[in-house]
Chains A and B, each alone.
Chain A
Amino acid sequence: MKKTAMYKLIFKEIVNSKARFLSIFILIVLGVGFFAGIQATGPNMLNTIDQYFKQQHLYDLHLQSTMGIEEGELELLRDYDPVDILEVGYSQDVLVGENRLVMKLIGYHEDHQLNQYLVKSGRLPEKSGEIALDDFDLIHNHYEIGDQVTLYSDREETDLTEQFNETTYEVVGFVTSPRYFVNVSRGQTSIGGGQLDAFGVIREEDFNLPVHTDLFVTFNGLQDKDTYSDKYKNLTSQYQSEIEHMLEDYAPKRLADIKADAEEELDDAEAEIADGRAELDEARAELDDAREQLDDGKAKLARARDELAQAHAELTKGESDYEQGLATFNQEISQAEEQLEQGEQELAQEQGKLDQAADELSQGEQELNQASRGIEAQYKELSNQQADWAVLMEEISDLLEVPIAFIPDQTIEDILNETDDIELNGSTLAALLEAYFAEEIPAEQVKQVLDQVNTEIEDGLLALDQARDEIEVKRSELDSNQKELTSGQNELDQARQTLDQQGSLLEQEKQAGEADLADARLELDQGWKEYNEGLDLLSDEEANLIEAEEEYKAGLATFEEESAEALEEIESGEEEIAEAREELAELEEPSYYPLLRTDNSAFLEYEENAARLSELASIFPVVFFAVAALVTLTTITRMIEEQRGEIGTLKALGYRNWEISMKYYVYALSASLLGTIFGLVLGYTALPLIIFNAYGMLYDLPDLILTNYWSYTLISASIALLSTVITAWFVLRVDLRSQPAVLMRPKAPKIGKRILLERITPLWRRFDFIKKVTARNLFRYKQRMLMTILGISGCAALIIAGFGVKGAVEGLIDLQYGKVLDYNAMVILDDEAGEDEASSYQAFIDQYEGIDQDLLVFHEQFEAKQDGLKSQDLNVFVPKSPEQLEDFIHLRDRTSGEPHQLNDEGAIVTEKLANLFDIEPGDKLTLVDGDNQSYQVEISAVTENYTGHYLYMTEAVYRSEIKDSLAYNANLLKYDRNRAWEDELLEGLMLEDQVVTVSANALQIESFDDSMASLNIVVVVLIVAAAGLAFVVLYNLTNINVSERIRELSTIKVLGFYDNEVTMYIYRENLTLTIMGIIAGGVFGRLLFTFVLDTVSMDNMMFNPGLDWTSYLYAALLTFSFSTFVMWMMHHKLKKIDMIEALKSNE
């Protein structure tokens, strides 16, 4: 049997009542979406981080130790069964860049499996000198890829090059680490301001540390466990305590090792010191030696000088002796020579005479010889001539016997030639002969001439013989002369010989004397040379000695200086050794810190945030959903009531009950199912994303992983169905039992009756008619009134709570920086800085125009601990002049406003911590510093404060309760200028060497605003959702109201009510309900606000529990405007009411 008519009816019903269908749909979407969305957000957040940790292989346990990690610990853990992966690494906190950001440098190696980085841009370091930086705003503001990062140590005595191979790194990328997923903090550190600003990843080999600093471990069997699950937490904490025990057992051994090592080192040091002492002594001995040597040298030198002087004298004497000797010698010689010369001269004179005589003699001889030779020659010639002549005479006499004519010509000629040269009385024989041959002279003449010649020759020969005799006489004369001469010569020669003998003797003597003198000279010269050499040597020596003396003096000075130093050093070394020994004796076993993920406060804070959301989800969406469900229920009820007639008709026609109810079930089911589906889709996606992105400002995490949760799906779907289908079933159940006739007859209109108000006659009388009508109408439909008030109040409460939380969160800053902190900036100073830097800074502050006041404070971060409670970060402030503190930080009781004065009786703690730890004045608070040292401080008062935990105390209290040393390391500044001026001031401050960082409260407010904005977004989501719900609720309820009373409205319309009067007739009721709803909402909202604040409030923030009236105002205004808007929509609907149609039918 087809029942197409029935289906048509259902379809038509939906189409015809679009508005109602839509309003049910929207209510369900809102209810389901908000419920499921908010519920899913917390788990989604946890799931996202869990996946992130798994993908990046975050450690399960991170071990650090006061003495680093060595092979021993490694082996110990390697042998521990649950350990899966084990890795060691290096890390070190340093300051980087001009602005001295506090950065944890972490060693990186490709082989590392744990704590993997996510590269956001660039890459990880691939070679030494490269660095990948923390990917977040603070770093991006200062560095880009390619920039240089320079490391600085926080203390001058720390030499970074001892810890790192490089101190300048090139930025190659930006990464995130699962270890650091909270943007606002990277954790604490012992350097800089105590807070890490960022981490940086460098190559492992760039570290130069003696021991590993970190050890990371993952455990077996946890890979599939949720990191926030109890199983994970229980297992890891079990392993942790086991490891803790193992390490506790191991600690003594490590200590012993260390002690042994240290002992050895100390011994070495002692030996060194002994060496030092020995060296010192040696040096002293050497110096003394040198002194001695010097003195020796000096003496020797003196002696040498004496000797030299003596030598000089001697030499000088020798010289003069020599000179004298030389003179004498020369004189003697010259005398002798003179004598000799004289002798010689005399000799020469005698010789000369002798020679003259000899000459004369030889001349005479020569002359004699010549004459003799001449006579001989003449004799010979004459003899020859006599012979020749005799021959010739014979020839000529022969010829003269022979006639001339008979003598051959030839013979004539020959004779002529032969006689040509024979001169004769002026002519020649030839000429005489010629003249003969020429017969001019007769032969006798010739014979005469010839005889004559012959006689002449004979005469000549006779003369010659005579001459020969004479000569012989002369020769004998000469010979006697010669004899005389020869004897003179002999005498002379003898004299000469004597002289020569004398000369040679002299010569010999002279030579001997000269040789002697030369020897003496040589000796003298040698002596001089030696003397000079000696002198040179002496001056050299002297110079050397002076030098040596100087050297010695310098050496002595140096020695004295150095020895003092060395001695001091030695003494301090000894002291140090003694101290070290003492320390060593006192040295405790190494402390091991095996930390789990859960020991990271950020890890827990994240969970808390998620839990907070879940808690928020446990109340907000429930209220929300309740309102939505309630209104849905009302709507469905009304719809079925409106259709009594139709139900009756269908019944009368014979339709079975289930067939009739089918329509309503389908209607309700389709509306709620569609709404549920849409709501779930929207809720599971949009809401978690919006909220998570809001938290994105706080956390550095990958995109949210969206999941649907069957539990929330089932809960929300069943509530949606309950409020629609079950309502339909419930309402129908009553109607379907009735007879068709009863159903077809109009349901008896609700009987009008007097309301309670009327009995208060004086009041009632004061009402004008319209008010009375309104009042009566309101109370006539009590159920609807209640529904409306509930709905509106629910929405108003949500809005109030939303704005309240928003206000409380935002107000936090106003309160903190308006009422509590009254300074403008805090300058963190380098307490290790030198005098110059400090005075330069002080001068800067004193002279800077516009700084009204400044106060030096000591600031240190501690952890406040109490058994069974989560430890809290605590800022300890010690003002230099406590009486001045009031100008900078207002310490007072929040409720009474009574100011607290800082005194030496105890510390003043801030309210939230006091509340958390349940501390009252007189109680003691336990503080733990970075070295795990704990201190107890008595609390004297509790002061108003809104963000963070602070502990204020005087220097005396600090010194007596905490540490003896205290260096003022921060300066609070107060001024009243604009931001540009402030920026300039901050820049100027950063240039001061003593300034580490400056934090201006104006900037703090901004950054805090940012972090609070995330919570705000959640609240905004809440407000928007609540507002949306309020609108739908108002529309729906008004719609029901109007449709229920359409006849009444038509009647007054007919009576001549203007359109706006008609609207007002209804609106007045709505307005009243709205006001009542807002009032009720105010009460609910207040409760909800308190509840929400309790759940969302963070440990380090104190929300002002007061709910600002503006929250009520906003809620009231929003609700009013929605109700007005709804009425405006209704107004249009009412204008179109067909009064005729409405009035025609019977009711």
Chain B
Amino acid sequence: MSYVKVVDEYKRYQMGENTIVANNGITFEIEAGEFAVILGPSGAGKSTVLNILGGMDKPDEGEIWVDGKNIAKYTMKQLTQYRRDEVGFVFQFYNLVPNLTARENLELATQISPNALDVDQVLASVGLAHRMDNFPAQLSGGEQQRVAIARALAKNPKLLLCDEPTGALDIETGKQILKLLQNTARETKTTVIVITHNSSIASMADRVIYINDAKVRETVINPRPRSVEEIEW
């Protein structure tokens, strides 16, 4: 069984009198250690999928299997536990705690994580050892995102979920981030799922899941993913 398996997942939002179907029977699988990209236009429902996968939201229907467990059946508390132990999140707007230094932002995560990595090493691995005592406001966007990734990684998660991680970054920086994510998947055997509307990123992925209009349109397995350097956008 695949590491991540979403089966017939539905998510509907009640907006006044209208029901918006965000996910309309989504089904896909991702193997462990894969660098997967979920691709689709704005409003296609890909963030919803990611939120559900990350245990931040619950589907209305369907099964969400992660590492052999159906998290769709989890209680809020179990979901928190799941987020705490198994998931790392990276957001488009970093969401670093502004009052904490880079290192402290990592510590914020590691303090509650059972199998956390060494904070300094993780920071070094994202190339920010020298900035670890800086506050987020003192860092550039890319650096902030790297701290955010480091924060996600420091927990040593099995699943790293990234929501438009490069959305707020310039191309070069974006590339560096993507590289970091790709390397993470390769080197730490962490399953990385990245959401993007940028199709050029898709070529980097081991697996690309196309979502449009709340449904999975296509799942493509890339036998030979390109490296970041090869990508043009």
Within 8 A of B (CB), among A980-1008: none
Indicate if the CB atoms of B108 and A776 lie closer than 8 Å: no
Residue of B nearest to A1051 (CB): B95
Report the nearest A residue to B95, measured CB to CB.
A1051
Complex Cα–Cα for A269 and B64 (A):
127
| A1048, B97: Cβ atoms closer than 8 Å | yes
B81 contacts A1056, CB within 8 Å? Answer: yes
Given that A1055-B108, A1140-B57 are known contacts, is A752 also in contact with B83, CB under 8 Å in the complex?
A: no
Interface 9-mer from B85-93, B124-132, B206-214, B223-231: B85-93
* Nearest chain B CB to A583 CB, angstrom units: 95
Please give, as numbers and ranges, the residues of chain B lying within 8 Å of A1048 by CB-CB distance.
97-99
CA–CA, A1013 to B101, complex, Å? Answer: 57
B136 to chain A, nearest CB (A): 7
* Residue from the list A748, A1047, A1054 in contact with B89, Cβ < 8 A: A1054
Tell me which residues across on chain A come within 8 A of B20, comparing CB atoms.
Answer: none
A897 at the interface (CB under 8 A from B): no
Pair B77/A1143 contact, Cβ less than 8 Å: no
Q: Report B85 CB to chain A, min CB distance, Å.
A: 7
Bits for B95-112, please: 1 = Cβ < 8 Å to A, else 0: 111111100100111011
Asked if B95 contacts A1143 (CB within 8 A), the reply is yes
Closest to A770 in B: B111
B135 neighbours in A (Cβ, 8 Å): 751-753
User: A195 in the interface, Cβ–Cβ < 8 Å?
Assistant: no
Note all chain B residues with C-beta closer than 8 A to A750. Answer: 98-99
Min C-beta distance of A141 to chain B, whole Å = 66
CA distance A1139 to B54 in the complex (A): 12
Q: Which one of A72-80, A404-412, A444-452, A1057-1065 contacts B?
A: A1057-1065
Interface: B137 (CB within 8 A): yes
B51 at the interface (CB under 8 A from A): yes
Are A776 and B100 neighbours in the complex by a CB distance under 8 Å?
yes
B173 at interface (Cβ–Cβ under 8 A)? Answer: no
A714 at interface, CB cutoff 8 A: no
Chain A, range 1034-1072, C-beta contacts under 8 Å to B: 1047-1048, 1050-1059, 1061
Alpha-carbon gap, A1023 to B55, bound state (A): 47
B1 interface residue per 8 A CB criterion: no
Partner of A1056 from B85, B96, B98 at Cβ < 8 Å: B85
Cβ-based interface call for A780 (8 A): yes
Is there a chain A Cβ closer than 8 Å to B113's Cβ? yes
Nearest-Cβ distance from residue B47 to partner chain A, whole angstroms = 8
Least Cβ–Cβ distance between B131 and chain A, in angstroms: 13
Assess A752 versus B98: contact at CB under 8 Å? Given A1056-B81, A1056-B113.
yes
User: A752-B99, A1054-B56 are contacts. A773–B113 as well, Cβ < 8 Å?
Assistant: no
Q: Out of A780, A1053, A1145, which one reaches B99, CB within 8 Å? A: A780
**Closest CB in chain A relative to B45 CB, distance in Å:** 13
Q: A752 touching B51 by the CB < 8 A rule?
A: no
* B84 within 8 A of partner (CB): yes
Q: Which residues of A contact B54 (CB under 8 A)?
A: 1054
> With an 8 A cutoff between CB atoms, is B203 at the interface?
no
- Shortest beta-carbon distance from A520 to chain B in Å: 166
User: In the complex, which residues of chain A have a beta carbon less than 8 angstroms from the beta carbon of B93?
Assistant: 1143, 1145-1147
Name the residue on A nearest B151 (C-beta): A1055
Residue B80 at the chain A interface, CB threshold 8 Å: yes
A777 at the interface (CB under 8 A from B): yes
Interface centre among A749, A780, A1053 (most CB of B within 10 A): A749
On chain B, the residues within 8 Å of A748 by CB distance are 137
Main secondary structure of the interface of A (DSSP, over half): helix
A1054-B56, A1055-B83, A1143-B93 given as contacts; is B100 within 8 A of A752 (CB)? yes
Assembly CA distance A773 to B168 (angstroms): 27
A1055 touches B84 (CB 8 A): yes
Question: B80 touching A1140 by the CB < 8 A rule?
Answer: no
Interface size of B by CB at 8 A reads 38
Nearest A residue to B157 by beta-carbon distance?
A1056
Proximity bits, A1119-1147, B CB within 8 Å = 1, else 0: 00000000000000000000110011111
CA distance A146 to B57 in the complex (A): 83
Contacts of A776 in B (CB 8 A): 99-100, 104
CB within 8 Å for A1140 and B111 given contacts A752-B135, A777-B99: no
Q: Does A553 have its Cβ within 8 Å of any Cβ on chain B?
A: no
A1143 to B163, CA, bound (A): 11
Please tell me if the beta carbons of B77 and A1058 are within 8 angstroms of each other in the complex: yes
Rounded to whole angstroms, the CA-CA distance of A1052 and B80 in the bound complex is 11
Q: How far is the CA of A629 from the CA of B137 in the complex (A)?
A: 34
Per-residue CB contact flags for chain A residues 751-763 toward chain B (1 = under 8 Å, else 0) read: 1110000000000
A772 within 8 A of B: yes
Closest Cβ of chain B: how far from A1016's Cβ, in Å? 47
Instruction: Indicate whether A710 reaches chain B with its CB closer than 8 angstroms.
Output: no
Residues on A with beta carbons closer than 8 Å to the beta carbon of B155: 1055-1056
Contact between chains at A1061 and B112 (CB < 8 Å): yes
Q: Taking CB as reference atom, which chain B residue is nearest A1054?
A: B89
Does A769 sit within 8 A of B, measured CB to CB?
A: yes
Q: What sequence of 0s and 1s flags, for each residue 231-266 of chain A, a beta carbon within 8 Å of any chain B beta carbon? A: 000000000000000000000000000000000000
Q: A752-B136, A1056-B87, A1061-B112 are in contact. Are A1047 and B57 (CB under 8 A)?
A: no
- Residues on A with C-beta less than 8 A from B95 are 1047, 1050-1051, 1054, 1143
Known A-B contacts A1056-B112, A1061-B112, A1140-B56; A769 and B104 likewise in contact (beta carbons under 8 Å) = yes
A931–chain B nearest beta-carbon distance, Å: 80
The verdict on A749 contacting B80 (CB below 8 Å), with A1052-B108, A1056-B85, A1061-B112 known, is no
Q: Out of B91, B111, B138, name the residue touching A1143 (CB < 8 Å).
A: B91
Q: Is the CB of B104 within 8 A of A1051?
A: no
Evaluate contact between B83 and A1056: CB separation under 8 angstroms: yes
- In the assembled complex, the Cα of A1056 lies from the Cα of B161 at a distance in Å of 14
Residues of B within 8 A of A1053 (CB): 80
* CA gap between A753 and B109 in the complex, in Å: 20
B109 contacts which chain A residues (CB < 8 A)? 1055-1056
Which chain B residues border A1145 with CB–CB below 8 Å? 93
Q: How far is the CB of A334 from chain B (nearest CB, A)?
A: 177
Residue of B nearest to A780 (CB): B99
Chain A min CB distance to B197 (Å): 15
Chain A 762-782, CB-CB to B under 8 Å as 1, else 0, gives: 000000011011001100100
Cα of A1052 to Cα of B112 in the assembled complex, Å: 10
Instruction: Name the one of A753, A773, A1050, A1139 contacting B108, with C-beta atoms under 8 angstroms.
Output: A773
The answer for the CA separation of A1053 and B89 in the assembled complex, in Å, is 11
Report which residue of A752, A753, A777, A1057 has the largest number of chain B beta carbons within 10 angstroms of its beta carbon.
A752
- A749, B104: Cα distance in complex, Å: 17
- Is B111 a contact of A769 with CB atoms below 8 Å? yes
Tell me which of A749, A1057, A1059 contacts B137 (CB under 8 A).
Answer: A749
Q: How far is the CB of A757 from chain B (nearest CB, A)?
A: 13
CB nearest neighbor in B for A746: B93
Contact string against A for B residues 131-144, beta-carbon threshold 8 Å, 1 for contact and 0 otherwise: 00001111000000
Q: Once the chains are docked, how many angstroms separate the CA of A1056 from the CA of B115?
A: 14
- 23 inter-chain pairs at a CB distance below 8 angstroms, sorted by A residue, are A751-B98, A751-B137, A752-B98, A752-B135, A752-B136, A752-B137, A770-B111, A772-B104, A773-B97, A773-B104, A777-B99, A780-B99, A1054-B54, A1054-B56, A1055-B89, A1056-B87, A1057-B112, A1058-B81, A1059-B76, A1059-B77, A1143-B93, A1144-B47, A1146-B168
Beyond A773-B97, A773-B100, A1055-B112, 19 additional pairs, beta carbon < 8 A: A752-B98, A752-B136, A776-B104, A777-B99, A780-B99, A1047-B95, A1054-B83, A1055-B83, A1055-B84, A1056-B82, A1056-B84, A1056-B112, A1057-B80, A1057-B84, A1058-B80, A1058-B84, A1140-B47, A1145-B93, A1147-B93
Q: 3 closest A-B pairs (Cβ-Cβ)?
A: A1056-B84, A752-B135, A1056-B83
B interface, CB within 8 angstroms of A: 47, 51, 54, 56-57, 76-77, 80-85, 87, 89, 91, 93, 95-101, 104, 107-109, 111-113, 135-138, 151, 155, 168
Give A contacts to B, CB under 8 Å: 748-753, 769-770, 772-773, 776-777, 780, 1047-1048, 1050-1059, 1061, 1139-1140, 1143-1147
